Amino acid sequence: MEKDMIRETEPPDTGVGIEQFHHPRAVCSGRRPSPLRESLMRGLSGTVLELGAGDGVKFRLYPSEVREIIAVEPDPGLCDTARQGYRDAVPVRVLSGSFDRLPLPDEAVDAVICSLALCSAPRLDAALREIRRVLRAGGRLRFYEHVRSVNPFTALTERLVSPLLTQSGGGCHPARDTVRSITAAGFQLDQVERFEVDRVAHVFGVARRQ
CA distances, 91 to each of 56, 67, 82, 109, 161 (Å): 12, 7, 13, 14, 40
d(CA 151, CA 162): 16
Is a pLDDT exceeding 70 seen at residue 12?
Answer: no
d(CA 51, CA 82): 12
What are the tens digits of pLDDT across the range 25-36? 567 666 677 888
What are the tens digits of pLDDT across the range 128-154? 999 999 999 999 999 998 887 666 656
CB 134 within 8 A of CB 160: no
CB 26 within 8 A of CB 16: yes
pTM: 0.82
Q: Residue 140 has what pLDDT?
A: 97
CB 74 within 8 A of CB 68: no
Break the chain into its structural domains and give their ranges.
2-147+175-209
What are the tens digits of pLDDT across the range 94-108? 999 999 999 999 999
Topology, domain 2-147+175-209: Rossmann fold (3.40.50)
- Return all residues near 12 (Cβ < 8 A) that are at least 6 apart: 34, 35, 36, 39, 195, 197, 204
CA distances, 101 to each of 54, 59, 64 (Å): 19, 22, 29
